[in-house]
Amino acid sequence: MIVGLTGGIGSGKSTVARAFGSLGIGWVDADDVAREVVAPGEPALTAIAQRFGNKALNSDGTLNRAALRSIVFDDPTERQWLESVTHPQVRERILLHLERLQRQSPYVLLVSPLLFESGQDALVNRTIVVDVPVDLQLKRTLQRDGVSKAQVHAILAAQLPREERLAKADDIIDNSGDHASMLHQVTQLNQHYQSGLL
């Protein structure tokens, strides 16, 4: 079984994934895979450099994420182009990682901020949405990422509205409380998923 884990920016997806990991559950993070496919020598990075030039690259030839983020969130057409280049490669690489993990774990997680928006939910059997109120998303992201409020709002606008994401969820983890509350919810879901596999 593959379980999709998603949530808006700043909701705590990675923290929840690590909690499942501590229970022996393997997981693939779509953001990590997205970084893999734009590493030096990868075809996606070559395409990005050809389209945007040196402003999209750091001096060492790696992707300048901050510059690219500014370009694509200021222009929806450029974001669509970037997604058309990277999403197919990300999907292919995700499938390879999931297949490897399925041999070692009772079920696996696909952690993806754009699970529904990218169509990656078609790869999973169930979905978990990690949920927090929008004002908490904003506060956490500003503290963590050092980006402007305008950029956070642009990222939020690129993701499904909270209500739509919740409506698509099979399971919901409320991550607006303390760490112990989140761990309790993860433990309960893990027991549910494993008992369903027996």
In the prediction, which pLDDT does 142 show? 67
Mean per-residue pLDDT of the chain: 89
Number of H helices, E strands in the chain: 9, 5
End-to-end CA separation in angstroms for the chain: 12
Q: How far is CA 68 from CA 59, 72, 88, 108, 117, in A?
A: 14, 6, 19, 31, 20
Beta-carbon neighbour count of residue 163 at 10 Å? 7
Topology at the third CATH level for domain 2-36+89-197: Rossmann fold (3.40.50)
- What is the percent of the chain with per-residue pLDDT over 90, rounded to a whole number? 65
Is residue 182 a contact partner of residue 16, using CB atoms and an 8 Å limit?
yes
Higher pLDDT: 73 or 175? It is 175
Residue 149 annotated as binding site: no
Residue 187 annotated as binding site: no
Beta-carbon neighbour count of residue 1 at 10 Å? 15
Where helices occur in 75-178 by DSSP H, the ranges are 76-101, 134-145, 149-158, 162-168
Extents of the domains making up the chain: 2-36+89-197
Residue 10 annotated as binding site: yes
- Asked whether the predicted pLDDT for residue 198 surpasses 60, the reply is no
Residue 59 annotated as binding site: no
**Rounded mean pLDDT of 114-119?**
88
**DSSP calls for 71-102:** HHHH-HHHHHHHHHHHHHHHHHHHHHHHHHHT
Residue 14 annotated as binding site: yes
Residue 70 annotated as binding site: no
This prediction's pTM: 0.81
